[in-house]
A and B are shown apart, each in its own frame.
Chain A
Amino acid sequence: MAKSYIRFWGVRGSYTAPFKTHLEVGGNTPCVEINIDDHVLICDAGTGIIPFGNKLIYDDKHKELLILLSHFHWDHISGLPFFVPAFHSKYNISFFGPGDSKEVIKKYIDNQMKAPYFPVGTEEWLAKISYLDPKQKKLAYGPMEISYYSAHHPGITYGYKIKAKNKTIIYIPDNECLFLDKSIKEKLKGFTEEETTMFTKMNREEYQAEVNTIANTDILIHDAQYTPQDYEKKKGWGHSCYIDVVNMAIDAKVKNLFLFSHDPNNDDETVSNIHRECQNIITEKKSSLRCHIAKEVLEISLD
């Protein structure tokens, strides 16, 4: 039986961080490989897809690839111009992402490689490229069942839920959780008692809906970009504070949380401190949640 695993190729949010102080966690932008029984699924095409592409070429084994794009902010697609398999005729590459039509998805991908931004356009790709119908609500890919939902992030952004081998994996690299909660707390003074009661209830319902979406997930790969100090200044930027993420994962009885989309300003020591803070919260709440730092080249077995 083939080995099944998740491997992180890029874990940084916003922009690459190729700094000496960041080498343990890694500096590439999002790309996560999910290989289940030799079916290769790629979550996002940030710069992490570049070394992954080189490995695919070197191994010369997997030729069918499905790339799920959470959205088209450039840190999630910037690796594509350098993704070598796209330039080889023996590869079949399918794309799925948010959009009105296959043509719109193609346009979004083409545009970053048009002059003057890049010397070579997607018309030079020799691989067989397919753009999947973005209107379909579920995809079946080998043994994987893939669905998606909207994330709290600027523009239309998806989180993906992948079910296979009796496990549920959620990949949601850019998401600002508990946004409504903070907005309500800021504005509560201006409301009547009735409005306050209704918004408090609405807030609970929206939080519960978010918790239900990730409930009992085996592996949650979630945006954890900000410290509380960052979030004070950057509320509304579309990323989560790690404290909110770990608390939500605890409430949802998630089994494994991988802190993802690390802030490019955070060196290895800072990321390690964030992880330690998360562990403290888990211990205080006596939760069985296992919290990990998503790091480049980290591999998680799914067997």
Chain B
Amino acid sequence: MSEYKRTVVLVDDNVTSHKFFQRSVENLSIDLKTYVGIEAAMEYLANNKPSLLFLNIIMPDKNGLTFLGELRKMPLHSDTRVIMITSKDYSQDRTIAFELGALDFIVKPMSMRSITSIMLEYIK
């Protein structure tokens, strides 16, 4: 019987960040999909709702907070579970993100254990 894997999406322009997340979820039943930008991610997100979405804030093609606002207008993603990732921990960003329904914040640099913990906490 095949193992049921939850889908988690990571949108971060930094490729090493993808590898970091991949290492963090190695021992979890998670299908991790990684994208370097919003446009690439939308090919999946246009028609699919992941169990959890990790969204970097500062990205070259669009700010993650701007994208989250747009995502929330899509019926499919009105309640998608979102975790913001950022290397800058500004309280104003947290306010904007939480107003848009983000569940939590990860501030780089973070340990692999913290990523695993967040996955286990928020993936139901």
Chain B residues whose C-beta falls within 8 Å of the C-beta of A184 in the assembled complex:
108-109
Residues of chain A with a CB closer than 8 A to B112's CB: 192, 194-195
Nearest CB on A from B113, distance (A): 9
Interface residues on A, range: 20 to 34
B17, B19, B88: the one contacting A152 at CB < 8 Å is B88
B29 in the interface (beta carbon within 8 A): no
Complex interface: chain B residues within 8 A of A152 (CB): 58, 87-88
A137 contacts across to B, CB distance below 8 A:
61
What is the CB-to-nearest-CB distance from B2 to chain A, in angstroms, rounded to a whole number? 30
CB pair A156–B109 under 8 Å, yes or no, is no
Return the contact of A190 from the options B14, B107, B111 (Cβ within 8 A). Answer: B111
- When distances are taken between beta carbons in the complex, the residues of chain A under 8 Å from B57 are 150
Interface Cβ pair total, 8 Å cutoff: 80
A183 contacts the other chain (Cβ, under 8 Å)? yes
Q: Which of B44-52, B74-82, B91-99 contacts A (4 or more CB under 8 A)?
A: B91-99
What is the bound-complex CA distance between A209 and B58, given in angstroms?
Answer: 11
What 16 additional pairs, Cβ within 8 angstroms, besides A137-B61, A199-B109, A213-B60? A100-B70, A150-B58, A154-B90, A155-B92, A155-B93, A156-B66, A156-B96, A179-B87, A183-B107, A184-B108, A194-B23, A195-B109, A199-B108, A209-B60, A236-B88, A238-B90
Q: Give the interface of A toward B (CB within 8 A).
A: 98, 100, 137, 149-150, 152-156, 176, 179-180, 183-184, 187-188, 190-192, 194-195, 198-199, 201-202, 205-206, 209, 213, 236, 238
